[in-house]
Structure 1
Amino acid sequence: MRLVTAGQMRNIDANTINKFGIPGIVLMENAALAVVRQVRKILHGERQPKIPGKKAVILIGKGNNGGDGFAVARHLSVSGMEVTVFFFAGGGELGGDARLNYELYLKMGGKIVQVEDEMQIRLFRLALIQADIVIDALYGTGFKGSLPDLTQKYVAEMNKCSAPVLAVDIASGLEADSGKVSSTAVKADYTVTFGLAKLGHFLGEGPVYTGELLIDQISIPENIIYEEKITTYLLTAEIIQPLIPVRNRQGHKGTHGTGVFIGGSVGMSGAVVLGGRGALRSGIGLLQMVVPEGIVETVDRGVIEGTVWPAPDYEMLGQGAWNAVLERLTEADACAVGPGLKPNSGFLPVIKSILADTSVPVILDADALNLVAGQPELLSLRKGQGSLVVTPHPGEMARLCQCTVLEVQESRVELALAKAIEWGAIVVLKGAVTVIASPDGRVFLNPTGNPGLGTGGTGDVLTGCIMAYAAQGVPLLGAACLGTFLHGRAADELSGIYGSAGFTAAEVADMLPKVRKTLEVEE
């Protein structure tokens, strides 16, 4: 699924009108009809042609979003609904197509309550009690900042009502490019958006305020969309399915990829065990683990299907581990470095050697990233010499970029993409919606996963999962997308069983084959 910024959508709209020749009033009419179709589905199901006797409350502001709202009000009135518009502007503030729809609604005797202050709020509460549906057409995709104080009071009332709430294009108060909500926003049960989905529907708090998202292209030609050169996508089953490796019936463990998992320390053996489990559950043929001597027995018992190789360090890996690492990498198809390492600066030269002197695909995670944070230029050593994935959470990304976590969270897409290009690496910026950025300029947002992943070890499982798919020959960007999507979907499957908390990282790993199989058989 393609995703756009508000600016990109404005360009597409403008080109549709000015280059292709579809009048703006036609696009507005198509948008209104898309909303009306969804209202019918919500209230009566798809086959009901009319919706007589039902009551709709529509909140309308100025601008084109308001014009959409008046067009919706007109069509619902024609369908037999009793419509009450609460108008948060004056007719003189509307122009162009929006004003035309306002005047058409007036001509048909449409009911409008002019909202000037809190005096109308009692009438609004009464209308909400009687409403069968509430429609938000206050602000569109150009909104930024906080809703006006008066509007916030009305939105608070709407968010408490029992009727379903439908947002036109985007929930008012939600920023289209970031998913940021500065004060409050309309909490929609449904959003009908036009042309293409917006980044803010999925980033930040977007999923909380968007509800079920429905997309209508409103007759915008595909070639006009193509001209915009969209490079941001939402991961879907349709994108992921072709990436899943297909096993040859004559295959064996030697043809299903060899991965080397490097990490662990005394007290942190679980990170390697979980990473190895994630790799095995993702179908890797051979798993080898390089760990300090002090945890060899623990790791060997924890991952009996893997091969454990001790480095000449007892408590944590140091510079002396290089020979053991190099020996394993000579026949590896991919490797992962970092989980459970502990921040031992003595291991940094080994990371540098892996990046500079080998071409095996590498996934850097956890303390490997914390070690590199002091010399982030090391990440650029891979340019032209091999493939690299970095998988930071926001705190690790902040250390790598020498900024605050807040700055990371406020510009997740932009920062991940900028660093992917700078480092020549695929950046998997973990979070509520994980951002996967590629040096070629493409960005993928992963919608799978839930708060249950906020427990120790789930990131280690993800690292093993990505390594396993890279080892099986999936191109590295595809391995990052595939691993992240399936990892999140495994958590979603567990959430359906246990709720949003209480399942473990090991259970996420063990669920991976099931969710992969589900995708393999989906049509």
Structure 2
Amino acid sequence: MFLVTAEEMREIDRKTIEEIGIPSIVLMENAGSQVAREMMQFIFKPAKIVILSGHGNNGGDGFVTARHLGNHGYDVQTWLIGSPEKFTPETTIHFNALIQSGYKVNIFSQDNELELKESLIKADIIVDALLGTGATGGLREPYKSIIQFVNQTNATKVAIDIPTGVNSNTGEVVELALIADYTITFALPKIGQYLYPGTEYIGKLKVVDISIPSIVIKEVDPRISLLSQNDLRTRLPIRKRNSHKGTYGHAFIIGGSKNMPGAITLATMAALRTGAGLTTSAVPASIQPMVFSRVPEAICIAMDEDSTGHFALNSIEALRLEEKNYTAIGIGPGIGQWELGLEWFKKLLLSINLPMIIDADGLNLLSKEIGLLDQRKSETILTPHPGEMARLIKRDVAYVEKNRIKVAKEFASQYGVYLLLKGAHSLIATPNGDLYLNPTGGPELAKGGSGDVLTGMITGFVAQKLPILDAVMLAVYLHGIAGNLASKPSNYSTIATDVIDKIGFAMSTLSNHVDALPTHFPGN
């Protein structure tokens, strides 16, 4: 499913109206009737409903909703917060249809402000049809005072298309927005409904059909997609019965340091759980026994280290990378930063001609010489959190968080990499400018080690020779599901190894394939 900007949605509407020939008044009728239909799923007829309509098209949707609810016997009170003189033509028609159907519309003014507040206090359901997706910036009066008052009531709050005060393109909220319990949006979800802080105001999101033809959406070609279970199920690699460990690739993860043996351990475990046929970890010699004892299923190479417990500069030659059959390489978990770290990292980066995943301190070392990416010949995947992203582009974290889509898209395009910008609703950007937003995951993943698990999962999928984009999408989506499964009974207590233990369960929820029967073919 695509996510759209306000501008893309307007173009979709325009094409539907002008090129397909579905009148705008019909789209508004469809929208309002769908809102009413959805509301009737969770409200009872004794409920008192107050609908707040503006004078734009969002207000027109509210008038249609009021008429349909009234026609079904619901107790509906409609308020116009605006001026009839500013109605769009479609809103005028549906306002008149509401009046001609025998329903009253109260027009808000300073003289009846107290009456409006009394209605809102008594309401069981309050419907926000004030501004819609085109509004930007802070709220002006009287919207500001009304929304502030609505938020203080005990009523269930329903937003039509998007809560008033939430920017549909960026998720930005300037001081105040409606805190909705439900948001009913039309045709396609809007980007701002999934970006913070806006997503915290959405409540339960429902996307309803208003008869927008699929051909129109294809022609507009939105560049941001929402990862979905139905799509990703088909991308999950099938485990064939007649297969062996060599069939599923060889993941190689380089990481760890004297004071951080845990990160590489977690990444290695996750690569194995994700399905890599073979997994090798390369670590400083002093921590090799510790890592190997935790992950006996992996090959664990002890590398030369310097006096600080970090990789020695000459350790790379000992790997003999050209002699191995690695199919993906992950770099960064737990490597730390040290005096010769950049020189070591640069030497490693330029000696490997395989798909590479860079995370953690690998990213921090890369940020010191970002031009190294231009010298890479194979696919590169970067997995920064906002702080690491800020260091990569020499900006502050606030800038990254406010401009997540712009930052991810521009960086991936400029350097020809796949970028996974982590956070609530992580964002994937591809070298050709496509973007994918992940809806899974929660606060249970806000723990040390979660990122190392994700790095291992990506490396494990890439090692199985999946297309790079498929590997990243599957890893981040399943990582979120595994986190959710691991959060029971409490997301306070979830730790990274709990998430790893749930990777298999997460894959099971995604796939409808029957597990392969065991094979005893020895492999290679």
Q: TM-score, normalised by structure 1?
A: 0.94
Q: Distance in 1 between matches of 2:57 and 2:100?
A: 19
Contact 2:254 2:330 survives alignment (8 Å): yes
SS, match of residue 185 in structure 2? strand
Aligned to 1:48: none
CA distance in 2, matches of 1:271, 1:172: 43
Matched, 1:256 2:248: yes
Structure 1 ranges of 4+ moved more than 4 A: 119-122
Listed one character per residue, the Cα deviations across residues 124-145 of structure 1 (whole Å, up to 9, x for unaligned) are 4432344342211011111111
CA contact (8 A) 2:126 2:157 kept: yes
Q: Secondary structure at the match of 1:336?
A: strand
Letter paired with 2:350: A
Q: 1:516 aligned to 2:503?
A: no
Structure 1 CA distance, aligned partners of 2:244 and 2:441?
32
> What's the secondary structure of 1:80's corresponding residue?
coil
> How do 1:40-119 residues align onto structure 2 when only pairs under 5 Å count?
40-43=40-43, 54-117=47-110
8 Å CA contact 2:261, 2:334 repeated in 1: yes
Of residues 433, 440, 453 in structure 1, which corresponds to 2:432?
Answer: 440
* Matched residue, 1:23: 23
- Structure 2 CA distance for aligned equivalents of residues 124 and 514 of structure 1: 51
Deviations 1:351-375 (A, max 9, x none): 3344434321100001011011011
Deviations 1:235-276 (A, max 9, x none): 111121112111111222222221111011111111111111
Secondary structure at the aligned position of 2:481 is classed as: helix
1:146 aligned onto 2:138: yes
Q: Which residue is 2:32 aligned to? A: 32
TM-score, normalised relative to structure 2: 0.93
Any idea what SS the aligned residue of 2:281 has? strand
* Range moving further from structure 2, 456-465 or 100-109: 100-109
Counterpart of 1:253 in structure 2: which amino acid?
K
Q: Which residue of 2 aligns with 1:398?
A: 390
Q: Which piece of structure 1 moves more, 451-460 or 302-311?
A: 302-311
Letter of the 1:447 counterpart: P
Question: Is residue 2:310 matched to residue 1:319?
Answer: no
Cα distance 1:124–1:345, how it changes in 2: closer, same or farther (>3 A)?
A: farther
For 2:197, give the aligned amino acid: E
Moved more, 326-335 or 186-195: 326-335
- For the pair 1:330 / 2:324, whether they are aligned, the reply is yes
Matched, 1:202 2:194: yes
Q: Secondary structure at the match of 2:42?
A: helix
Deviation at 1:324, TM superposition (A): 3.0
Where 1:197 maps in the other structure, the secondary structure is: coil
Counterpart AA for 1:501 = Y
- How far residue 344 of structure 1 moved from its aligned partner, in angstroms, is 2.4
The 5-angstrom pairing of residues 165-244 of structure 1 reads 165-244=157-236
Matched with 1:47 is none
Code of the aligned partner of 2:29: E
Distance in 2, matches of 1:324 and 1:229, equals 49
State whether residues 408 and 427 of structure 2, in contact with CA within 8 Å, keep that contact through their aligned partners in structure 1.
yes
Equivalents in 1 of 2:354, 2:321: separation in Å?
13
Q: For residues 329 and 167 of structure 1, do their structure 2 counterparts lie closer, same or farther at Cα, with a shift above 3 Å needed?
A: farther
Mapped contact 1:311–1:320 kept (Cα < 8 A): no
C-alpha deviation, 1:217, in angstroms: 2.9
For 1:303 and 1:158, the matched residues in 2 are separated by: 55
Q: Distance in 2 between matches of 1:259 and 1:329?
A: 15
Quick one: distance in 2 between partners of 1:325 and 1:102? 74
Q: Which runs of 5+ in 2 are unaligned?
A: 515-524
Q: Distance in 2 between matches of 1:94 and 1:134?
A: 22
**Range with bigger deviation, 483-492 or 119-128:** 119-128
Q: Distance in 1 between matches of 2:194 and 2:300?
A: 41
Alpha carbons 1:272, 1:340 under 8 Å: kept: yes
Structure 1 residue 120, shift from structure 2 partner: 4.5
- Greater Cα shift, 204-213 or 431-440: 204-213
Please give the alpha-carbon distance, in whole angstroms, between the structure 2 residues aligned to 1:129 and 1:149. 20
User: Once the 2 structures are TM-superposed, how far is the Cα of residue 54 of structure 1 from its aligned partner?
Assistant: 4.1
| Mapped partners of 1:358, 1:311: distance in 2 | 17
Alpha-carbon displacement from aligned partner over 1:315-356 (angstroms, at most 9, x marks no partner):
001422211344377310101001111112523344334443
Distance in structure 1 (CA, Å) of the matches to 2:416 and 2:508: 33
Distance 1:126 1:328 in 2: 77
Asked if structure 1 preserves the Cα contact closer than 8 Å seen for 2:52 and 2:78, the reply is: yes
Superposed displacement of residue 458, structure 1: 0.5
CA distance in 1, matches of 2:336, 2:38: 53
Note if 1:490 corresponds to 2:482.
Answer: yes
- Amino acid aligned to 1:87: L
Superposition deviation, residue 414 in structure 1? 1.7
**CA 1:522–1:238 in 2, change beyond 3 Å: closer, same or farther?**
farther
Query: C-alpha distance in 2, partners of 1:224/1:201?
Result: 22
Range 443-452 or range 241-250, more displaced: 241-250
Give the C-alpha shift of residue 158 in structure 1: 2.2
Give, in whole Å, the separation in 2 of the partners of 1:508 and 1:183: 36
Moved more, 106-115 or 1-10: 106-115
Q: Secondary structure at the match of 2:292?
A: helix
Contact 2:168 2:193 in 1 (8 A): yes
CA distance in 1, matches of 2:350, 2:416: 13
Distance 2:410 2:393 in 1: 11
Q: Which runs of 5+ in 1 are unaligned?
A: 45-50
Q: Percent identity?
A: 37
What is the one-letter code of the residue matched to 1:311? M
Inter-partner Cα distance in structure 1 for 2:50 and 2:320? 68
Q: Does 2:360 match 1:366?
A: yes
Instruction: State the Cα distance separating 1:448 from its structure 2 match.
Output: 0.6
Instruction: State the SS of the aligned residue for 1:396.
Output: helix
What is the RMSD computed on CA atoms of the aligned residues?
A: 1.9
Counterpart of 2:504 in structure 1: which amino acid?
A: P
The Cα of 1:216 is off from its aligned counterpart by 2.1
Q: How many residues align?
A: 512
Matches of 2:295 and 2:72, distance apart in 1: 64
- Deviation string for 1:76-127 (max 9, x for gaps)? 222222221222211112121112222222333433333334x655434432
1-structure distance, mates of 2:166, 2:113? 23
